[in-house]
Amino acid sequence: MSFSYLTITQAHHGLVTKQFSCIDLVSYYLKKIEEQKDLNAFITITGEAALARAKIVDAKIAKGEKLGELEGLPAAIKDLILTKGIKTTAASKILANYIAPYDATVVAKLKEAGVIILGKNNCDEFGLGSSNETSAFGPVLNPWDKTKVPGGSSGGSAAAVAADECVFALGTDTGGSIRQPAAFCGVVGLKPGYGRVSRYGLIAMTSSLDQAGPITRTVEDAAIVLRVIAGEDANDATALTSEPDDYLAGLSGNLKGLIIGLPEEYFKDGLDKEVEAAIKLAIKQLEALGASVVKVSLPHTALALAAYYIIMPAEVSSNLARFDGIRYGFGSALAKNLAEVYGKTRAEGFGAEAKRRIMMGAFVLSAGYQEAYYQQAVKVQKLIKEEYREVFNKVDVLITPTAPTPAFGLGEKAADPLTMYLSDVYTVSANIAGLCGLSVPCGFSSKGLPLGLQILGPDGAEGLILKVGYNYQENTSRHKQHPK
């Protein structure tokens, strides 16, 4: 049997029917990672531990014991998520040799379900980027075209899934960092609504916006993983206490009666013509499945990106203040006194993008400017949330492009941070408003690069956006195409 591009269901079936052993499965992915190490999708590989765990799973199968749905399945974890006993670097020099003393809640839940961790995925430093070029461990390459970026900040996770280096991966999304790389790499990326999944053990970038979620081959796989990682957590006061839905069971059923909203502001200047054509074709396909489509307006959409790039760096400057060379992580060997420990450690340890956002955040929070910038951005955030609430009283979901363009070239936007930030123009509003969002493959550019369709839903509507995405995938084949 071929191991190539197994879904969760296929991998589980192969194990329980003894078509292959868990050691065979883990060995396949470790070999793929080694063969494609030029992609640089992993910072740390935990091969020995993965094989040891696989041996235990095989012994369980031999005894005829029942396997859980995710048990024995090899997965990868973004290196912004704590993993006990394994290096967690946040792709930064300042945490290059940091070994986490505990598991993030999402990791603990996956381990409890029997998932085997293959290693830690490369990402933009502290999640600060849209191209996976800011990592202290080098950029990740896009498996579809190695001259292109995989997107960011969860670029390593998306590239690993697209290149068949794991069954699925976990990423984090603060302004599109799961959905945008999923679109660029031709895989599925789910950002749950804020609080649906615990943030405990995520290295904080922007505490009010961060969210962990799965990157998978199919929407069905995303539903399976979300069912495991969602739910309340006593360690995270922002985690929702309401019981999550059975996301897998909710996929069944057609789209008759569903009302889809198309925000006019998402289809204006700046949108690549090939992306627009792919989205419009996907909309026709959804209409053929029984959904009705109406145009809606979100006039404050244009302000979402500006508000995000004030709120986000403000919280970044606060969260990254803890990395000072005293308690953990890198400490400068050149420091001669306490003041130099702080200054030189941060100067040497942080990369250029991290420094840029720390300074931006410190500025917007400084005396005389906090009211003019940060407080105004928070007011705009409230307007955006209210605007979405009103729109979702009229429609069930929104359909938009995930990114305005296909994947761009390595280094193409590195010298122009503003142009880079515009890559997030269609994704940041979901974080600003606390919405859930799903990116699914919807076609290819003339150069063979994947394109992504974004499905947005109101708070608590993860099951609904997954159902829409599942129906779309069941009637199309874009997600079944893989890099050569």
Catalytic annotation present for 27: no
Question: Band of the pLDDT at 96, cuts 50, 70, 90?
Answer: very high
Residue 422: per-residue pLDDT: 80
pLDDT tens string 427-462:
999 999 999 999 999 999 999 999 999 999 999 999
CA distances from 106 to 36, 306, 380, 477 (A): 27, 31, 31, 30
Nearest to 442 by CA among 454, 452, 432, 428: 452
Residue 187: per-residue pLDDT: 98
Question: Which two structure tokens, joined as six digits, stand for 86?
Answer: 């394994």
Peptide bond into 153 cis (omega under 30): yes
Residue 135 CB contacts under 8 Å (≥ 6 apart), including other chains:
43, 91, 122, 123, 124, 125
> β-strand 259-263 against 292-296: which pairing, if any?
parallel
Question: Which two structure tokens, joined as six digits, stand for 322?
Answer: 């803890």
Question: Band of the pLDDT at 224, cuts 50, 70, 90?
Answer: very high
The residue written with tokens 């569903």 in the block is 258
d(CA 159, CA 180): 12
Residue 268: per-residue pLDDT: 86
Question: Band of the pLDDT at 418, cuts 50, 70, 90?
Answer: confident
Catalytic residue, from 177, 423, 439, 445: name it: 177
Question: Which two structure tokens, joined as six digits, stand for 29?
Answer: 């992915």
Residue 357: per-residue pLDDT: 96
d(CA 127, CA 414): 16
d(CA 174, CA 434): 10
d(CA 239, CA 260): 28
d(CA 326, CA 463): 44
Catalytic residue, from 21, 27, 78, 423: name it: 78
d(CA 329, CA 321): 13
Q: Region 103-115: what's the mean pLDDT?
A: 98
Catalytic annotation present for 208: no
DSSP 142: B
Domain ranges in the chain are: 8-259
Residue 421: per-residue pLDDT: 83
Nearest to 354 by CA among 90, 170, 157: 90
Residue 274 CB contacts under 8 Å (≥ 6 apart), including other chains:
406, 443, 445, 446, 451
Q: Residue 16 corresponds to which amino acid?
A: V
Q: Is 229 left (phi over 0), alpha (psi -120 to 50) or beta?
A: alpha
pTM exceeding 0.85: yes
CA distances from 476 to 17, 274, 367, 443, 473 (A): 29, 18, 54, 10, 5
Task: Please check whether residue 103 is in contact with residue 82, taking contact to mean a CB–CB distance below 8 angstroms.
Answer: yes
Nearest to 247 by CA among 14, 13, 469: 469
Q: What percent of the chain has pLDDT over 90?
A: 92
Residue 301 CB contacts under 8 Å (≥ 6 apart), including other chains:
263, 265, 266, 384, 429
d(CA 444, CA 482): 11
Q: Determine which helix (DSSP H) or strand (DSSP E) holds 314, and give its type and residue range.
A: helix 301-319
Question: Band of the pLDDT at 477, cuts 50, 70, 90?
Answer: very high
Catalytic residue, from 153, 154, 157, 198: name it: 153
Residue 426: per-residue pLDDT: 94
Question: Band of the pLDDT at 471, cuts 50, 70, 90?
Answer: very high
CA distances from 454 to 180, 236, 294, 400, 424 (A): 9, 28, 16, 5, 12
DSSP 87: B
d(CA 225, CA 246): 11
**Residue 180, phi then psi, degrees to nearest 5:** -65, -50
pLDDT tens string 28-62:
999 999 999 999 999 999 999 999 999 999 999 99
Q: Does domain 8-259 have CATH number 3.90.1300.10?
A: yes
Angle at 429 between CA 106 and CA 392, to 5 degrees: 95
Q: Region 207-222: what's the mean pLDDT?
A: 97
With 80 as the cut, is the pLDDT of residue 465 above it?
Answer: yes
Task: Please check whether residue 113 is in contact with residue 75, taking contact to mean a CB–CB distance below 8 angstroms.
Answer: no
Average pLDDT, the chain: 96
Catalytic annotation present for 366: no
Residue 423: per-residue pLDDT: 83
Residue 126: per-residue pLDDT: 98
pLDDT tens string 166-193:
999 999 999 999 999 999 999 999 999 9
d(CA 332, CA 183): 39
CA distances from 351 to 38, 98, 127, 156, 203 (A): 22, 17, 12, 18, 16
